Structure 1
């Protein structure tokens, strides 16, 4: 069995494992979707609507990043390669379009490394589109690649319509699928996953901060990605490590940034304390 097959099999095992026994009762959570897993043991510590469809919003960019990470690991891309910023990437990914942006300028070229930072730290839609076009030749070809890759990774209840995660019809995931993706990325690409834990990024003389609230909480968080849509609320795929033990959390549907932060923290603190041991 190849190393990749072993890793995918391991990631699948995490989410087929039965809930951990004899845990203290978890706190109630106000968010409609939640999943907390122990990535070391494979135990599901907490689940709420973990297999129900939900809108991924910008957590979509974790899969976009995985495809780029895979190309880097295979030598098909290099971090210092540059990708063109098409007018489409600049237009659809511009802040004025209502989404997040790293403020890349049309017809410029940006390194793959800076685009990854723009994608994962500032959640730039322009970065997502530019990476998709560079890797696959077009946005449409990249979306087909995303859906093939999702199936390969065992994300059987997910479907993607674009690389950045707007509210397009048919764009759906489950908390379990997103946790599976996060676990795979963390284990397979540690050299690139580190970008998810960087707290700030400046591009075009505009400083921007990572929206992941866990990174500022001193609870061992090191990634992964936030998301938000007006119709589906605030979401987060997060991971934290304490004493060598890694937990992965997915929540979605919070009513505000503050609720997203507080619910994520409560579940992780419970998982590291009463929930796990």
Structure 2
């Protein structure tokens, strides 16, 4: 499988990140039709633009940022390695894989996949099956992993973000804000420089 995103950061991170090195004066001239927006300077954390930034919204695929934060933190702490492998369950295959009709890395049912390949599937292709495989491998079920996501969100200072699944697929009770998405992306950039590089990867050939 070969997946290609023309602008991976614009696709997955762009909405939540908005870490533009703009002067405050220039930001004052910025306007957007978006209902919510939040822009900060990546180096200083200075808020450059804010529009209804704390209104709860569904995270959609940007929930995968929190999934990757949990994974990156586990790698950094030594609890897992990039070479650890995870099994593709029927639930992961059916809910996020080829039968789902959603963004997928086409993981084969009951196959075994390295964590690094799953990370690339998620960051390059926004693969829902990759997220679920990781969630089940880490916590036994996606629901348990989503609880870990929310707990981890609180640990890094995200007070309003609540996660119900690892993918961002529609689910009651799942919410975040554009401010917290931006702060999450900034946290990933600052905390995991060796792993953040996957978000700059333009394509991924696997299987």
- Establish whether TM, by shorter chain, passes 0.5: yes
SS in 2 for 1:121: helix
Aligned counterpart, 2:37: 34
RMSD of aligned Cα (Å) = 1.4
Q: How far 1:22 sits from its partner (Å)?
A: 4.5
SS in 2 for 1:162: coil
Aligned counterpart, 2:192: 189
Higher relative contact order (CA 8 A, sep 6+): 2
Write 1 or 2 for the structure with the bigger share of strand. 1
Q: How far 1:29 sits from its partner (Å)?
A: 0.7
Structure 1: segments with no counterpart, 5+ residues: 1-19, 205-277
Aligned counterpart, 2:82: 79
Aligned counterpart, 2:106: 103
Give the direction of change, closer, same or farther, for the CA distance of 1:92–1:49 in structure 2 (3 Å limit). same
Q: How far 1:74 sits from its partner (Å)?
A: 1.2
Partner deviation per Cα, 1:50-86 (whole Å, 9 max, x = no partner): 1011111111011101111111111111101111111
Aligned counterpart, 2:91: 88
Matches of 1:163 and 1:136, distance apart in 2? 11
Aligned counterpart, 2:204: 201
Matches of 1:30 and 1:23, distance apart in 2? 18
Matched, 1:117 2:120: yes
Partner deviation per Cα, 1:218-242 (whole Å, 9 max, x = no partner): xxxxxxxxxxxxxxxxxxxxxxxxx
Aligned counterpart, 2:129: 126
Using structure 2 for the length normalisation, give the TM-score. Answer: 0.85
Q: How far 1:96 sits from its partner (Å)?
A: 3.4
Alignment of 1:130-141 (within 5 A): 130-141=133-144
- Count of aligned pairs between the two proteins: 185
Matched, 1:174 2:177: yes
Aligned counterpart, 1:215: none
Matched, 1:68 2:62: no
Matched, 1:57 2:27: no
Partner deviation per Cα, 1:155-178 (whole Å, 9 max, x = no partner): 111111100001111111001111
Partner deviation per Cα, 1:19-63 (whole Å, 9 max, x = no partner): x86556323211111111002122100111110111111110111
Using structure 1 for the length normalisation, give the TM-score. Answer: 0.64
SS in 2 for 1:182: helix
Matches of 1:179 and 1:152, distance apart in 2? 16
Write 1 or 2 for the structure with the bigger share of helix. 2
Matches of 2:27 and 2:126, distance apart in 1? 36
Give the direction of change, closer, same or farther, for the CA distance of 1:21–1:201 in structure 2 (3 Å limit). closer
